[in-house]
């Protein structure tokens, strides 16, 4: 609830130098570090807190704005152990006189504090607004019950309430409808006062807010907000924060060494799996079991960079890209096959790795092909021979020194994308499959890329776009500035007239490693 300060300070904009705040409230048990506002006066234009009364389970804080020639700052006077968070009624009197701040709880002995900074004699509330139970923001909302809240100018108001036969419910100014209520009903062990159950809350579409509905609540289930009818307007009392869907941490996987690549795949009748490419001697496969991934199989590898899962008919394979050529006598393999009886991957076919960075699997006219991405020689495309079930190399794309290789479907064309990491002139090339020759022919080169980590083709109407995620700049000056990972990723558009992809837009990224094209609603 809020109202402009001008309703109270109609003739003078200065807050009184001496005053008392009388409040009767009941506060439930609060978490240890929870703070809630009971009363605030906030500047409308700057959201500056001019005055406030805030409490926690162990302290009551009186806040006010102080000013001098050096500027303005917020002063806090804190009273310890006011015993508020016990779910019982208490009447507090905070009295402010010159440099003395006094707190009296339930007509007990006052607790006085002589502050170094006195309450200002000229605290202007022009253009300010009172907030009851909040500080305008959602954080710190009051969650208890208030029976009376009185701002009284002048000296200490304690003698006007105390002594009292019922000190926790000492009366100074309480609405007539609440004043007649007595103590705890004999037949009610939970609710101490009948009016706690008499609050009407309307649920459903937005109801009218007139004098008839004044002080009634309305809960908007769609917005998850609670509103109070004040005058002719529904005022938000409690509203859920609007937020996007966030990715939250679900599980940490402990791997044997640095993980350079992850492949997620599903095997029918077996479940969901994750293969991790670890830098040192062992990679791993994990299986989704009872809401988490658990270790399923360890696979000996050497400088593994990436795994690729693919199927040929009913056969299930995993291909691993190995960065460095393995020394003589060391065991290595590039393709594994799933043994359906054991549900384990076993070595199937070996290739000389030649610093492979990546594998991709695709089909051309139903014939499975697997291109291998290498670092120091030409990359190779392997073709599956049904009569002799193994991958053979029928063609090799260029250029050499490949950092990243991808296969993209662009309209009727199947395009092989090759990214090179040359420090002098990093670039990429596009090679579509020639329908008559049955091999990939160079279509366009000299697309500048910097550590190209992923490619994506997408369409907007009839327009065709190609996006590349750049991960690293090879510029020496950028590396010296330790800023080599903050570079632009690029979106290219196919120019039909020029028969080439031309730059459409730069997007600043930090070590871009992946891309995904989606469609927004509407």
Question: Is the predicted pLDDT of residue 52 greater than 80, yes or no?
Answer: yes
Q: Is the pTM of this model over 0.85?
A: no
| Average pLDDT score over residue span 358-382 | 59
Q: What is the overall mean pLDDT for the chain?
A: 75
Burial label for 200, CB within 10 Å (0-12, 13-18, 19+), is exposed
Give the pLDDT score at 74.
84
Categorize the per-residue pLDDT at 274 as very low, low, confident or very high, splitting at 50, 70 and 90. very high
Residues with Cβ < 8 Å from 294, sequence gap 6 or more? 286, 287
| Average pLDDT score over residue span 448-460 | 73
Question: Is the predicted pLDDT of residue 307 greater than 70, yes or no?
Answer: yes
Residues 396-434 as b or e (16 or more Cβ within 10 Å = b): bbebebbbbbbbbebeeebbbbbbbbeeeebbbbbbbbe
Question: Is the predicted pLDDT of residue 287 greater than 90, yes or no?
Answer: yes
Question: Is the predicted pLDDT of residue 362 greater than 70, yes or no?
Answer: no
d(C-alpha 298, C-alpha 85), whole Å: 55
Give the pLDDT score at 213.
79
In this predicted model, what pLDDT tens digit does every residue of 372-408 receive, in sequence order?
554 444 556 666 666 555 555 544 444 444 445 556 5
Give the pLDDT score at 99.
81
289 by DSSP, 3-state: which? strand
In this predicted model, what pLDDT tens digit does every residue of 220-239 receive, in sequence order?
877 778 888 888 888 888 77
Tokens of 178: 């609440």
Indicate the range of 106-120, 139-153, 260-274, 420-434 predicted with least confidence: 420-434
Query: Higher confidence at residue 429 or residue 207?
Result: 207
Question: Is the predicted pLDDT of residue 75 greater than 80, yes or no?
Answer: yes
Q: Answer yes or no: are the C-beta atoms of 371 and 359 closer than 8 Å.
A: yes
């Amino acid at each position: 609830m809020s109202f402009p300060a001008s309703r109270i300070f109609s003739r003078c904009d200065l807050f009184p130098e001496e005053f008392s705040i009388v409040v009767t409230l009941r506060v439930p048990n609060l978490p240890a570090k929870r703070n809630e506002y009971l009363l605030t006066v906030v500047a409308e234009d700057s959201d500056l807190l001019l005055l406030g009364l805030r409490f926690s389970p162990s302290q009551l804080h009186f806040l006010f704005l102080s000013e001098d020639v050096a500027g303005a700052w917020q002063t806090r006077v804190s009273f310890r152990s006011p015993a508020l968070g016990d779910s019982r009624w208490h009447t507090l009197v905070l009295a402010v006189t010159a440099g003395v701040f006094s707190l009296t709880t339930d007509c007990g002995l006052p607790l006085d504090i002589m502050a170094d900074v006195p309450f200002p004699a000229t605290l202007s509330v022009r253009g300010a607004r009172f907030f009851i139970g909040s500080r305008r923001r959602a954080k710190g909302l009051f969650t208890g019950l208030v029976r009376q809240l009185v701002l009284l100018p002048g000296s200490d108001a304690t003698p006007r309430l105390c002594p009292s036969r019922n000190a926790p419910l000492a009366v100074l100014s309480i609405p007539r409808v609440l004043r007649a209520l007595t103590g705890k009903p004999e037949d009610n062990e939970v609710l101490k006062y009948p009016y706690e159950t008499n609050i009407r809350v309307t649920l459903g579409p937005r109801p009218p807010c007139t004098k008839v509905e004044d002080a009634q609540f309305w809960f908007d289930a769609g917005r998850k907000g609670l509103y109070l009818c004040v005058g002719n307007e529904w005022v938000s009392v409690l509203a859920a924060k609007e937020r996007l869907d966030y990715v939250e941490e679900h599980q940490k996987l402990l791997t044997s060494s640095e993980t350079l690549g992850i492949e997620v795949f599903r095997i029918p009748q077996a479940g969901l799996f994750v293969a991790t490419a670890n830098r040192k001697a062992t990679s791993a496969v994990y299986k989704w079991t009872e809401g988490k991934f658990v270790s399923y199989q360890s696979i000996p590898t050497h400088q593994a960079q990436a795994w690729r899962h693919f199927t040929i008919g009913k056969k299930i394979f995993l291909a691993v890209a190995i960065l460095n050529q393995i020394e003589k006598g060391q065991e290595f393999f590039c393709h594994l096959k799933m043994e359906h009886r054991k549900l384990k991957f076993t070595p199937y076919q070996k290739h000389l790795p030649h610093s492979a960075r990546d594998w991709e699997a695709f089909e051309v006219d139903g014939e499975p092909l697997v291109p291998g991405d290498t670092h120091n020689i030409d990359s190779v495309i392997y073709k599956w021979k049904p009569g002799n079930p193994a991958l053979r190399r029928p063609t090799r794309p260029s250029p050499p020194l490949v950092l990243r290789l991808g296969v993209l479907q662009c309209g009727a064309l199947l395009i092989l994308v090759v990214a090179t990491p040359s420090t002098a002139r990093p670039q990429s090339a596009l090679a579509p499959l020639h329908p008559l020759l049955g091999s990939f022919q160079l279509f366009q080169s000299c697309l500048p890329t910097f550590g190209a980590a992923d490619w994506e083709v997408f369409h907007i109407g009839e327009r065709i776009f190609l996006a590349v995620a750049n991960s690293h700049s090879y510029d020496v000056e950028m590396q010296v500035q330790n800023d080599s990972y903050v570079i632009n990723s690029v979106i290219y558009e196919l120019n039909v007239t020029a028969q080439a992809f031309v730059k459409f837009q730069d997007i600043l990224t930090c070590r871009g490693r992946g891309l995904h094209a989606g469609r927004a609603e509407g």
